[in-house]
Chain A
Amino acid sequence: MDMIGLYPTWFEPGVGSGWIVGLIATIHVLFSHTSVGAAIFFAYLANYAHHNQRPDLLDFIRRYGLFLLVFSYVLGSITGPGIWYSTTVASPRGISALIHNFVWMWATEWVFFVIEVVGVYMLVYLANKLDGKTYLKLSFIFGLTSYTTMLAIIGILSFMMWPGKQAWYAQGGFLNAFYGPNTFAQLGMRTAFMFTMTAVVGGIVAARFEDAAFKKEVASKLAWLGIGSAVAGAAMFQWYLSTLPETAALVMQNRLPGWFKPGVLGILAGTVAYFAMTLVQPRTLVSGGAAVMTVAMLVFGLWPEEVARESMRKPWVAGQYVYSNQVIGRDVPGMGIKSEIPLLEAHGFMKTQVFMPEHLRTITDGNRLEAGRVLALTTCSNCHSLSNTGIRPLKNYFTPENTVNDTAAYLQAALSTGNTLYMPQIPLKDDEALALATFIATLQGPVNPAMAVAQTLKKDPAQ
C-alpha cells in the first residue's frame, strides 16, 4: 500500500506553533525592512554629503550606521532562516513545497545576501576611507541589492497564497508559480511599507542632527516620504485584496476579528498623523519617538497583517495544494503531484501515515483514545490547539453535551467532502472519526488533556 509522507507533528500546548512562526516572521519583517530603509536613507545621506561637501555626514553614518544598519541587517539575516526553522517544525511539507518549487530563486537571493553582507560592513567601516564617488557607488549597490532580495522573495510569499498563474496547475514551471497579479500587488504593498520604514528609521537618525536647518530639511523630506508611502501602501493593500482567491476574501469577511479593519485604518491614520506632526514641528522628531513609532508599526501594523495573511490562505499553506494539516489536497498535473485524498479515503490516516506507532494502525477499544489523540495531532493541531490556550482551541468548537457519536458524525459530515470554508478535506474512516471524537470528548477536562493523555499512556503503555 502507498503511504502518505506526513512528518511527525510538533505540538506546542502553550501558545501554539502558529503564533511562534508569526512572531518570528513579524520580527524578521521589521528588521529586514528597517535594514533596507536604513540603507536607502544612508544612500541619500551619502549622496547629499558628496554633492554638498559634508564629510561630517559620513562620520554620522559611521557612528549611527553601525547600530541601525549592521544590527538590523544581522538580526534580519538571523530571523530570516529563523522563519525557515520555525516553519520547518510547524509545517514541514509547507516549507518543503516552497523549497522544491523555488530553490533556485532562493539560491539567487542568497547571492544577493552575500553581496549585502560584504556591502553593509563596507558602508560602515569605510565611510571615512573611500572617496565620495566610490562611497556613493557602494551605497547604490547596497540599496539595489537590498531591494532585489525583496524582489526574489515576493513571488514565493505570493505562492503561499496561490500560484501567480492558474496555468501552473496544468503546466508547472517556475514562471507560472512566481509571477502574477498577487505577486506585483504584494510587491507594491511591501515596497510602500519599506519606504514608510525608511521614513520612520530615518527619523531615529535625523533626530540626532545638530545642524538645525539640515535637520528641518531632512525631517520634511522624511515626513513627505512617510505620508506618501503610507497612503500608497493603503492603496496597494486594496489592490492586493483584489488579487486574492475567492476563499481568502470569504475568510476575510467571516473569520477576521472585528477590530481588524478599524485597526488597519487606525495605524494608517496614526502613521500619517505622526509624519504630519514632524513636518509641521521638526523639533517633535526625537529618537525615542521615532523608535516608539517603529515598535508601533510592528505591533499594530505588521502583526495584524501577518496574522491576516496567515488566516486568509486557510485551509491551504502553499500553492493551494498543500493543506494546513500537511496533506496534499489536490492534483497538480503540471508538476506530477497527486492528491493524497483518494488514498486517505480508501485506507484512512492510521494505515497510511509514515510516523504512526504500529500498534495504532488498527484501532481497538483499548487504543481508541490514543489513536484519537494522534489523529488530532495530525489532522487538527496545526490550526487548532489541543490545550486550553493557543490558537483556536479545538475544545471551543464542541460542548460537553455533544455525545461521542454525535461528534463523530459531525466530523465526517463536515470534513469528508472538503466543502467547509477554510477547513481542509479530512476523509476520516468510521473508526477514525470515532477515535477522534473520543479524544475531543476528553478536551473538556481540566488541564492540557493532549499532554495529560500522553503522560498517562506513557506510564501504562498497555492501556
Chain B
Amino acid sequence: MTPDMLHALRDPAGVPSHPLVFLVLGVLTFALHMAAVNVMLGTGALTLRGAFSPSAHWRRLAVAMLTTSKIAVSVAIVLGVAPLLFVQVVYDPFWYTSNVLSAWWVMGFIALLIAGYIALYVFYWKNHDIETEGAKGGVWLVLSLALLLAVGFIVHSLTNQMLFPENWMGWYAPQGVVKPDGHSLHYWNLPRFGFFIALSAPVTGAWLYAYRRYLQATAQPDATYLAWLLPLAKKLMLVGGVVAVLLGVVWMSTLPEKMAWFALSPMALIALLALLGTVALPLILKDRINQGLWGYAVFGMGAVALIVVGAAREVLRYVTLAGTHGYDALDYRINMDWYSTALFFTTFGVLGSVVLGYLLTVAWQAGQTQGTYSPSPALNRLGNLAIGLLGLWIVTYFGVGFFVWSR
C-alpha cells in the first residue's frame, strides 16, 4: 500500500479542525475508556471471587463490585464512543479497511457485547442478597466476563490490523483472489492485549483505595471492613501492577521490526515510569493513605498513568504510519468549521461541566448520607443552572436552526 493509495482513501471532505485536536481528544477519551474497561473487568473478577466466599467481607465487597461492574459496562460503552469517533476522523483509511476486512467480527462485537451485558444482569437478577445468602449462577458471571474479554479482543485486533497496510491486500485477496466475506481476524498480539487487560488489576486496586476512602467519609464507617480492604487493594496494586508491566515488557520485545524503535523510546519509558510510579504510590504514602484526600490520590495517579500509556500508544501508531507508510495524520486537509467546533467545546466545557458536576456531586453526597438526601442551597442552584443550560442549548439549537432554514 503506497502513500498515494493511503491518501486516496482519506475522506475528501477533510476535517473541520486541526487534526491534532482529534488526536489529543482521542488519547484522552481512550484513557477514560480504558479506565472504565479495567474497572469493569476488575470489579467483575472481584465479584466472582467474593460472591461465593464464606467470608462476609468478601460477599459484602462482591455486592458493591457487582453494582460497580454493571455501571462500568455502560460507562465503558459510552466512553468508548468518543475514541471510536475520533479514530475515524484522522485514521479513516486504516480504521475502515481494518473493519471491512473483518466485517463479521465487527458485527459480532455488537452481539457479544449485548450477550455479555445481559449475562451480567442475569447473574444480578439471580442474586438479590449475596451478602446474607451467598450467590448462585456463577456461570453467568463467568460467561459475561468471557464475552466482555472477547469483545476487547476484537477491538484489539481491529486496532492492530490498522497498523499493517502492507498486509491488507494479502488479507483481502489471498493469492490474488478477492475474498470479500469478512470472516477472519487477521492480526493480534497477545502480549499487547494481555498488557491492557492486566492493567485491570492495578486499576481496580486503585479503585479499591478510592472506595475505601469513600466509605471512610460515611457516617458510621465499618473499621474492620476498611482494614480488610487495605491489603487487598495493595496486593492488586503491587502484584497486578508488576504483572502488567512484565506483559508490557514482553509486548515491547515482540514488536514487529518496523515498530522495534518504540521499545526503548522516551515515550515508552515515560509510560513505564508512570505505571511504576502509580504502583509504588501506596508504598510511598504509607499511613497517609488514611489521611485527607490521599485515599483518592492513587486512582487519580492511575488515571494520569493511563493517559500517558494512551499517549504512548498513539505515538507508536502515529510514528509507524508516518515513518514506515508515509501517512502523516497531522497533514489531513482542514476544512475549518468554527460553528460546530465552538458548539462542541462550549457544550463539553460549560454545559457538560455544570450538569455532570451537579449530578456527580449529588450522587457522591447521597451515597454518604443516611436517610433522605437533600442538597445544599448552593448545589440546588447548580442544579437549576444545569436545567437552565440544557434549556438554553435547546433554544439555541432551534433559534440557529430556524435562522439558517429561513435565510
Which residues of B sit under 8 angstroms from A106, Cβ to Cβ?
Answer: 85
A100 pairs with B13, CB closer than 8 A: yes
Q: Which residues of B contact A125 (CB under 8 A)?
A: 67
Does B405 lie within 8 Å of A181, measured CB to CB?
A: yes
Whole-angstrom distance between the Cβ of B18 and the nearest chain A Cβ? 13
B100 in contact with A115 (CB, 8 Å): no
Q: Is A151 an interface residue (CB 8 A)?
A: yes
Asked whether A454 lies within 8 Å of B356 as measured between CB atoms, the reply is no
Give B194 Cβ to nearest chain A Cβ, in Å: 25
Residues of chain B within 8 A of A12, CB atoms compared: 103, 181-182
Closest to B10 in A: A5
- How far does the alpha carbon of A166 sit from the alpha carbon of B259 in the complex, in Å? 47
Query: Residues of A contacting B81 with CB < 8 Å?
Result: 77, 80-81, 110, 113
User: Are A2 and B401 interface neighbours, CB within 8 A?
Assistant: no
Is B16 in contact with chain A by the CB < 8 A criterion? yes
| Selected interface stretch from B44-52, B71-79, B265-273 | B71-79
Residue A230 interfacial (CB < 8 Å): no
Q: Which of B216-224, B231-239, B314-322, B388-396 contacts A (4 or more CB under 8 A)?
A: B388-396
Known: A77-B74, A93-B11, A104-B341. A5 touches B110 (CB 8 A): no
When C-beta atoms are compared, the residue in chain A nearest to B22 turns out to be: A103
**B257 contacts the other chain (CB 8 A):** no
Q: For residues 69 through 95 of chain A, which have their beta carbon under 8 Å from a beta carbon of chain B?
A: 70-71, 73-75, 77-82, 84-86, 88-90, 92-93, 95
Binary interface encoding of chain A residues 91-127 relative to chain B, with 1 for a CB under 8 A from any of its CBs, else 0: 0110111011111111110111111111111100110
Question: Are A144 and B97 neighbours in the complex by a CB distance under 8 Å?
Answer: no
List A contacts of B1 (CB < 8 A): 354
Complex alpha-carbon distance, A111 and B337, angstroms:
19
Judge whether A176 and B404 touch: CB under 8 Å: yes
Is B177 touching A96 in the complex (CB atoms < 8 A)? no
Interface residues of B in 87-135 (CB under 8 A from A): 88-89, 92-93, 95-97, 99-101, 103, 106-107, 109-110, 113-114, 117, 121
Pick the contact of A10 from B8, B74, B103, B401 — CB < 8 Å?
B103
A119-B383 Cα distance, complex, nearest whole Å: 13
> Knowing A117-B75, A458-B177 touch, does A8 contact B390 (C-beta < 8 A)?
no
A183 with B340: CB separation less than 8 A = no
- Report A406-463 residues with CB < 8 Å from chain B CB: 451, 454, 457-458, 461
Report whether B344 and A151 are in contact in the complex, using a CB–CB cutoff of 8 Å. Answer: no
Choose among A95, A104, A164, A328 the residue that contacts B12 (Cβ–Cβ < 8 A).
A328
A165 within 8 A of B: yes
Residues of A within 8 A of B9 (CB): 5, 7, 354
Give every chain A residue within 8 A of B10 (Cβ-Cβ): 5
Q: Which chain B residues numbered 300 to 351 have a C-beta less than 8 Å away from chain A?
A: 333, 335, 337, 339-341, 343-344, 347-348, 351
User: Which single residue of chain B is at the shortest CB-CB distance from A122?
Assistant: B363
Q: Measured between C-beta atoms, what is the minimum distance from B352 to chain A in Å? A: 5
Instruction: Report the Cα distance A17→B182, complex, angstroms.
Output: 11
Q: A227 an interface residue at 8 Å Cβ cutoff?
A: no
Partner of A102, one of B80, B172, B174, B340: B340
| B79, B86, B99: most-surrounded residue (chain A CB, <10 A) | B99
Given A119-B359, A130-B366, A175-B404: A103 in contact with B16 (beta carbons within 8 A) = yes
The verdict on A8 contacting B177 (CB below 8 Å), with A164-B405, A181-B405 known, is no
B360 at the interface (CB under 8 A from A): yes
From residue A14, how far is it (CB to closest CB) to chain B in Å?
A: 11
B179 CB within 8 Å of chain A: yes
Could you say which of B139-147, B198-206, B289-297, B369-377 contacts chain A? B369-377
B190 within 8 A of A: no
> 1/0 per residue A366-399: CB within 8 Å of B?
0000100110010001000000000000000000
> Does A148 make an interface contact (CB < 8 A)?
yes
**Chain B residue at minimum C-beta to C-beta distance from A84:** B84
A458 to B180, CA, bound (A): 13
When the two chains form their complex, are residues B75 and A108 in contact, meaning their CB atoms are under 8 A apart?
Answer: no
Query: Given known contacts A74-B74, A104-B344, A174-B339, is B359 in contact with A2 (CB within 8 Å)?
Result: no
Knowing A78-B117, A110-B81, A336-B335 are in contact, say whether A8-B366 is a contact too (CB < 8 A).
no
Is the C-beta of B287 less than 8 angstroms from some C-beta in chain A? no
Which residues of A lie under 8 Å from residue B404 when comparing CB positions? 164-165, 175-176, 178-180
Do residues A114 and B78 form an inter-chain contact, with CB atoms below 8 A?
yes
Asked if B340 and A104 sit within 8 Å, CB to CB, the answer is yes
Q: Which one, A134-142, A262-270, A282-290, is touching chain B?
A: A134-142
Residues of B close to A140: CB separation below 8 A: 387
- Which B residues lie within 8 Å of A355 (CB)? 97, 168-169, 172-173
Give the Cβ gap from A380 to chain B, nearest Cβ, in Å: 12
Q: Contacts A117-B75, A141-B386; is A7 near B373 (CB within 8 Å)? A: no
Chain A residues with CB under 8 Å of B335's CB are 172, 335-336
Known contacts A92-B100, A354-B5: A108-B343 contact under CB 8 Å: yes
The answer to whether B14 has its CB under 8 Å from any CB of chain A is yes
A221 at the interface (CB under 8 A from B): no
**A458–B373 contact, CB under 8 A?**
no
Report whether B169 and A85 are in contact in the complex, using a CB–CB cutoff of 8 Å.
Answer: no
Contact B348 A9 (CB under 8 A): no
- Specify which chain A residues have a CB less than 8 angstroms from the CB of B348 in the assembled complex: 107-108, 111
Contact in complex: A74, B73 (CB < 8 Å): yes
Q: How far is the CA of A377 from the CA of B180 in the complex (A)?
A: 8
The verdict on A11 contacting chain B, using a C-beta distance below 8 Å, is yes
Are B394 and A370 in contact (CB-based, < 8 A)? no
How many angstroms from the CA of A24 to the CA of B351 in the assembled complex?
31
Determine whether A338 belongs to the interface, using a CB cutoff of 8 Å to chain B: yes
Known: A100-B14, A122-B359. A86 touches B107 (CB 8 A): yes
Would you call B374 and A134 a contact (CB within 8 A)?
yes
Residue B178 at the chain A interface, CB threshold 8 Å: yes
Cβ contact within 8 Å between A85 and B390: no
Cβ-based interface call for A145 (8 A): yes
Task: Write out the residue numbers on chain B whose beta carbons fall within 8 Å of the beta carbon of A332.
Answer: 13
| CB <8 Å contact, A8 and B75 | no
Q: B17 at interface (Cβ–Cβ under 8 A)?
A: yes
Footprint of A on B, CB under 8 Å?
1, 4-5, 8-17, 22, 25, 67, 71, 73-75, 77-82, 84-86, 88-89, 92-93, 95-97, 99-101, 103, 106-107, 109-110, 113-114, 117, 121, 168-169, 172-182, 333, 335, 337, 339-341, 343-344, 347-348, 351-352, 355-356, 358-360, 362-363, 366, 369, 372-375, 380, 383-384, 386-387, 390-391, 393-394, 397, 400-401, 404-405
Closest 7 CB pairs of A and B: A104-B340, A89-B103, A10-B103, A5-B9, A92-B96, A174-B340, A82-B110
Q: Return 5 A-B CB contacts under 8 Å, by A number.
A: A89-B100, A108-B340, A110-B78, A116-B78, A354-B9
Given contacts A77-B78, A81-B80, A111-B351, 10 further A-B contacts (CB under 8 A): A84-B84, A88-B95, A116-B78, A122-B362, A130-B362, A134-B362, A148-B393, A335-B335, A355-B172, A461-B175
